[in-house]
Structure 1
Amino acid sequence: MRISRYFWQKISSCAFAGSIALAPLQSVHAQTSPQNGIVRPGDRIAGPAFATRSPTYGMNGAAATAHPIATQIAIDTLKQGGTAVDAAIAANAALGLLEPTGNGIGGDLFALIWDPKTQKLYGINGSGRAPMGMSLADRAAREAKIKTRVPGSRPSFGSLTVTVPGAVDAWFSMHSRFGKLPMAKVLAPTIAYAEAGTPVPPIIAHYMASNFRRLEERAKAGEVEEFDNARKTYFANGAHKAGEVFKNPDLAKTLSLIARGGRDAYYKGPIAQKIDAYMRRIGGPLRASDLAAHQSEWVEPISVSYRGYDVWQLPPNSQGVTTLQMLGILNQFDMAAAGFGTAESLHLQLEAKRLAFEDRAKFLADPASAKVPTKGLIDPAYLKSRAAQIDPRKATVEVSAGDPSQFEKGDTTFLVTSDSSGMMVALIQSNYRGMGSGLVADGLGFMFQNRGEAFSLDPASPNVYAPGKRPFHTIIPGFITKDNQAFMAFGVMGGAMQPQGQTQIVVNMIDYGLDTQSAGDAPRWRHEGGCEPEGGCKPGLGRVALESGYPEATRAGLVEKGWTVSGADGDFGGYQAIKRDPKTGAYEAATESRKDGTALAY
């Protein structure tokens, strides 16, 4: 359903009037005055007042990324005759240079690809495995020797957290199946920008500064074994400020090797040899043999039906099933009647999150190494039984994982692209926590991911560390079909925020009638607490962070239901989406207002 302009005026005025009493974002850009409190956005004559801009429309293709130049590179690739997959790879390569705080060729990749020729959705799992040369006992012993910032915590950085980077192999797997332009042409724009340099935008500059502080601290504590290369590559004169030009000539050389030598240059050739030599020098466990053994996996996407729409995700070791569980639980409630932005609506969403995340902690792991009850977790009867545990009147103090076995039947970047044929791509790529491990191999110009932090060290956990095993993965691309036709490619970056954010986008669009841009601009919530796949549980209700756009009545209503509510902290993910009109083929693209990026179409 669509929401009337009158209703938007009512809820928008309520939201912005009430939100002045909320804790403001801790930002140097939050301007205030005695008369008005927090200064709010200017007025718009169409759509909800909280929308930052209109969606972008086009017929021939579209792209949305977290950096304007990456989006432009994607559009240029389409105009040169490239497919949506070519454009996605080109944009992803660019983001590894332009947004190193979230991704790069030292990380992993997942993607969902709609192929109009076969009328089918394809999924690729480009996640890497743990080094073969380090056992569980070895890792536990080495972790115990590291001085971490918080007593009793596990290391988040350094060589023990490095798993095989899967992004480059995934590029070539996608390209061989759906690409058209030569890979040298696809990578050429990023190589040129890496050599010439480009100004750093404000949000990325902010994250570069925070990563610099954190990584330097961990290097001094001995958790990051070698930091001079990272300092030279990213922080030669400290963290770049907004508008300062950043160059990465080493990355340009590495991408040039890949452009000429293909994926083997990375996994079997000169890049692999440099990685091996570096890891031996610093005492890290990753070896050239681990890289040579790596291969991406084409997988069958999984889905649930939500009010006549089919929402798709990749199966584990991804956490995509968690989004499907949340939506399957909410499908049992009349969310439209609960009302947009109300305490009643948020309460149901929060309880669905808690139930799904308990299952996430107990069951999700690498299905090649553990039995994961994926089908049971999204079985309609199981989801109905989980929904029955929710009390609409109050928060349930303690929740636990369910038993799906009886139903068993057998810091990140996100981008979307589409082309004139109807091909659509949802691609997500990450170095995991922050910029990654803090380690940059000699002369390569990219940081290794710290995805291995996501393993558990508990032998009883399905996600326990083991050589050659893939860790539990947070990054998840999303896709929606309607009547077996492509409807929307979308995603929300940001660790555990991803299933929570994706669910809010779907609910905002399908239950509350928002367009692609407004669905992302709407204020978000984030819940923290419960159990984690890496191990450890926080009992009780946890904490609900609310962005300042929610009215005071929503905050008060949640408190009345028993929730502990805090103000905004800036950690609400990053969203991109492209929707396709099945009748006209027109694209509607949107980008995250909380990031530096943009959406373009033509």
Structure 2
Amino acid sequence: MAGKEALNFQSRRSPVLGTHAAVSTSQPLATDIGARILRLGGNAVDAAVAVSAALCVLEPCSTGLGGDMFMLYYEASTKQVHAVNGSGKAPAALSLERCLEDLAKATPAAAAAAAATGGGGSGPKDIPPCHPHSVTVPGAAAGWCDSVSKFGSGALTLSELMEPAAVLAEEGFPVSPITAHHWGLNAYQLETGPNKGAALLMPNGRTPAAGEVFRNPDMAGVLRELGTGGREGFYGGRIGEAMVKVLQEMGGVLTMEDLKAHTTAFVEPISVEFAGVRVYEVPPNGQGIAALLALNILKELGVVEEDGGEAAYLHRLIEVLRLAFADTRWYCADMDKAEVPVKELLGQAYAAERARLFDPTRASVDVKKGSPTKSSCTVSFQVVDDRGNAVSFVNSNYMGFGSGIVPDGCGFSLQSRGSNFVLDPEHPNVLAPGKRPYHTIIPCMVTSEATGELFATMTNMGAFMQPQGHVQLLSNLLLRGMDPQAAIDAPRFCIRDGMANGAVALEPWYPDAAAAAAGRDTPEGADKGGEGYEAVVSELQRMGHDIKVVRGHARCEMGRAQIIQRKMSGGTQVLWCGSDGRADGCAVAW
């Protein structure tokens, strides 16, 4: 019952405030580990890597060493934002032709069904997430090592950063309620592969219940090998061999050479100005550009909230995100392998052109991509250290346990990011050897446009919800004057699957205790001038939006957000922290 009440937001959560440092994650035990690293003299990057390792133990149904990582790092001494792309590539031997041939053999019916969906006119439309070809090189381990090497404090070794998570895995931890729910929900994925996910199940073969202690000694061993051996200890030794072996047994083509050739990309972040702040994202292959496109169009339309009421406000946000996704789903691809016109897409002239498509009275349910040039599931968390450095970090398997394929003796499942490749040879995001796929995970960093000082570090994990969450959270902070916790707790919407014509999931708001006990939400909404969600839903439907109201655990569709906002009080910084009630976590500050 407590988990259900939490999802219905029955208890009010105040923001957590501190003046020195702060950590906000989706798991209290991970938050504690981040705080411990900071108190031992580590900086924000050290703490972030230790937190990421802990979350791989605590939430294997969301993240793991078989996945990827992205990071934005605000360096206080220079007021510079650095971007780290720790996503992996497709195997060198995986051509489009090989993939289509293998998928057609595995699913004969798919070939006939795919004639109208691309894929060169034959073969399946997508790579199934349980197929070995969906597994790209896991980039998280290298990303952790390289981030600590480049930006860490030097006060702690990689082994010391891995050890708290290794102890959790070895000694066991009580599984949090919402995590237990999703672990069970995605258990079917662990039926994939020769090892059947045994390391991620209880000894009797079931998933752990809330409060039940779960141990993962295999994962403890992997973390310690990574800590002592670094990149080579993960990709070049028995762990790498186990990954290659399980995939090749299933018909995959990943090799040790693919693992050893992997590199972390340190790239220039992309950004736009919005409402007096500068918003930073990692450039494509990450989908952060969708948030920036939407903010640019929103700025063109006017960022001040209208007097038209809640339906008009939501309509505007939904429409600018539809326009942004129409472009992102086409143009977002590996910039080393495809032409991505980032500068043109983020130009205000293009935003003005796209803004002209906005109709304040009706939904645009068939939005097409624009032409910016004439020629043509997841965990996330925030850390701010006592030096003023900040990290926005995302680490993910994708779609729960990813592929569900577990290398023998490793205690983690392999991601399925290759499912985001397009099997259409004309598409920028078409599968190709050694190419990174369209990636959903996106951290976000926000600075003052006037001073360059940190304004906030934030994320909203959850596949294609992530850029939508960034836009909604920023709107709550900047346009509606909410504190970080209120901005997170406020009801959100999600355009499903990140498709420009997708249905819109919408949370009801402000249920009272009696209604929650009866298993329903009230239509009131006192904090919105008495405008209840039923009236808002009706008005949005009248405009042409396909609205789906979601409740209870279905609210996971809105992702889980974390925010640390920096304000000043009499010359002293005050860190305002929020952590999402849609997850199990919390923030701490001191």
1:79 to 39, 42, 56: 39
Letter in structure 2 aligned against 1:575? A
Structure 1 Cα separation of the partners of residues 382 and 423 of structure 2? 35
Letter in structure 1 aligned against 2:10? P
Structure 1 Cα separation of the partners of residues 270 and 151 of structure 2? 21
What does 1:478-517 align with in structure 2 at a 5 Å threshold?
478-482=444-448, 483=450, 484-517=452-485
User: Secondary structure in 1 aligned to 2:572?
Assistant: coil
1:234 to 188, 191, 201: 201
Structure 1 Cα separation of the partners of residues 465 and 585 of structure 2? 19
2:49 to 82, 89, 96: 89
2:187 to 206, 212, 220: 212
1:143 to 86, 93, 103: 103
Letter in structure 2 aligned against 1:475? I
Letter in structure 1 aligned against 2:535? A
After TM superposition, give the deviation of residue 114 of structure 1 in Å: 0.5
The question of whether the paired residues in 2 share the 8 Å contact of 1:476 and 1:491 is answered with yes
1:269-299 deviation per Cα after TM superposition (whole angstroms, max 9, x unaligned): 3322332333333332111100100010100
1:601 paired to 2:589: yes
1:396 paired to 2:384: no
1:66-99 deviation per Cα after TM superposition (whole angstroms, max 9, x unaligned): 1000000000100011101110000000000001
Letter in structure 2 aligned against 1:62? A
After TM superposition, give the deviation of residue 563 of structure 1 in Å: 1.4
Structure 2 Cα separation of the partners of residues 405 and 200 of structure 1? 50
1:589 to 563, 572, 577: 577
What does 1:222-371 align with in structure 2 at a 5 Å threshold?
224-228=192-196, 230-237=197-204, 238-338=206-306, 342-371=310-339
1:577 paired to 2:557: no
1:195 maps to 170
The question of whether the paired residues in 2 share the 8 Å contact of 1:340 and 1:512 is answered with no
The question of whether the paired residues in 1 share the 8 Å contact of 2:44 and 2:389 is answered with yes
1:188-211 deviation per Cα after TM superposition (whole angstroms, max 9, x unaligned): 111111110001111110111111
Structure 1 Cα separation of the partners of residues 8 and 578 of structure 2? 24
Instruction: Describe the shift of the 1:132–1:40 C-alpha distance in structure 2 as closer, same or farther (beyond 3 A).
Output: closer
After TM superposition, give the deviation of residue 148 of structure 1 in Å: 9.9
Structure 1 Cα separation of the partners of residues 84 and 302 of structure 2? 34
1:372 to 340, 350, 375: 340
User: Secondary structure in 1 aligned to 2:344?
Assistant: helix
The question of whether the paired residues in 1 share the 8 Å contact of 2:9 and 2:489 is answered with no
Instruction: Describe the shift of the 1:29–1:412 C-alpha distance in structure 2 as closer, same or farther (beyond 3 A).
Output: closer
1:460 to 415, 426, 432: 426
1:99 paired to 2:85: no
- TM-score, scaled relative to structure 1: 0.86
The question of whether the paired residues in 1 share the 8 Å contact of 2:199 and 2:412 is answered with no
2:118 maps to none
1:451 to 417, 435, 450: 417
The question of whether the paired residues in 2 share the 8 Å contact of 1:158 and 1:438 is answered with no
Structure 2 Cα separation of the partners of residues 160 and 168 of structure 1? 20
Structure 2 Cα separation of the partners of residues 375 and 264 of structure 1? 37
Structure 1 Cα separation of the partners of residues 375 and 77 of structure 2? 34
After TM superposition, give the deviation of residue 530 of structure 1 in Å: 7.5
After TM superposition, give the deviation of residue 333 of structure 1 in Å: 2.9
After TM superposition, give the deviation of residue 30 of structure 1 in Å: 5.5
Structure 2 Cα separation of the partners of residues 528 and 447 of structure 1? 26
Instruction: Describe the shift of the 1:142–1:597 C-alpha distance in structure 2 as closer, same or farther (beyond 3 A).
Output: same
1:161 to 134, 143, 162: 134
Structure 1 Cα separation of the partners of residues 2 and 385 of structure 2? 39
Structure 2 Cα separation of the partners of residues 513 and 195 of structure 1? 44
Instruction: Describe the shift of the 1:486–1:40 C-alpha distance in structure 2 as closer, same or farther (beyond 3 A).
Output: closer
The question of whether the paired residues in 2 share the 8 Å contact of 1:313 and 1:478 is answered with yes
1:559 maps to 541
| Count of matched residue positions in the alignment of Structure 1 and Structure 2 | 543
Letter in structure 2 aligned against 1:145? K
2:81 maps to 121
After TM superposition, give the deviation of residue 225 of structure 1 in Å: 3.5
Structure 2 Cα separation of the partners of residues 339 and 263 of structure 1? 55
Structure 2 Cα separation of the partners of residues 542 and 107 of structure 1? 27
Structure 2 Cα separation of the partners of residues 243 and 474 of structure 1? 31
Identity %: 39
Structure 1 Cα separation of the partners of residues 109 and 139 of structure 2? 29
After TM superposition, give the deviation of residue 40 of structure 1 in Å: 7.1
After TM superposition, give the deviation of residue 486 of structure 1 in Å: 1.1
User: Secondary structure in 1 aligned to 2:475?
Assistant: helix
Structure 2 Cα separation of the partners of residues 387 and 458 of structure 1? 29
After TM superposition, give the deviation of residue 39 of structure 1 in Å: 8.3
After TM superposition, give the deviation of residue 332 of structure 1 in Å: 2.1
Letter in structure 1 aligned against 2:579? T
Letter in structure 2 aligned against 1:322? A
Structure 2 Cα separation of the partners of residues 489 and 339 of structure 1? 30
User: Secondary structure in 2 aligned to 1:566?
Assistant: strand
After TM superposition, give the deviation of residue 376 of structure 1 in Å: 0.8
Structure 1 Cα separation of the partners of residues 245 and 502 of structure 2? 45
Structure 1 Cα separation of the partners of residues 254 and 39 of structure 2? 40
User: Secondary structure in 2 aligned to 1:304?
Assistant: strand
Structure 1 Cα separation of the partners of residues 130 and 199 of structure 2? 18
After TM superposition, give the deviation of residue 29 of structure 1 in Å: 6.2
Structure 2 Cα separation of the partners of residues 589 and 39 of structure 1? 21
Letter in structure 1 aligned against 2:158? M
Of 435-444 and 419-428, more deviation after overlay is shown by: 435-444
Instruction: Describe the shift of the 1:530–1:292 C-alpha distance in structure 2 as closer, same or farther (beyond 3 A).
Output: closer
1:185 maps to 160
Letter in structure 2 aligned against 1:323? A
- TM-score, scaled relative to structure 2: 0.88
After TM superposition, give the deviation of residue 227 of structure 1 in Å: 4.2
The question of whether the paired residues in 2 share the 8 Å contact of 1:416 and 1:576 is answered with yes
1:470 to 436, 443, 446: 436
The question of whether the paired residues in 1 share the 8 Å contact of 2:344 and 2:350 is answered with yes
Letter in structure 1 aligned against 2:74? W
Instruction: Describe the shift of the 1:339–1:177 C-alpha distance in structure 2 as closer, same or farther (beyond 3 A).
Output: farther
Structure 2 unaligned segments of length 5 or more: list them.
115-124, 510-531
2:390 maps to 424
Letter in structure 2 aligned against 1:199? P
Of 168-177 and 541-550, more deviation after overlay is shown by: 541-550
1:117-165 deviation per Cα after TM superposition (whole angstroms, max 9, x unaligned): 2221100000100011222111111112334999766412131110000
User: Secondary structure in 2 aligned to 1:440?
Assistant: coil
The question of whether the paired residues in 1 share the 8 Å contact of 2:464 and 2:497 is answered with no
User: Secondary structure in 2 aligned to 1:586?
Assistant: strand
The question of whether the paired residues in 1 share the 8 Å contact of 2:394 and 2:441 is answered with yes
Backbone CA RMSD of aligned residues: 2.2
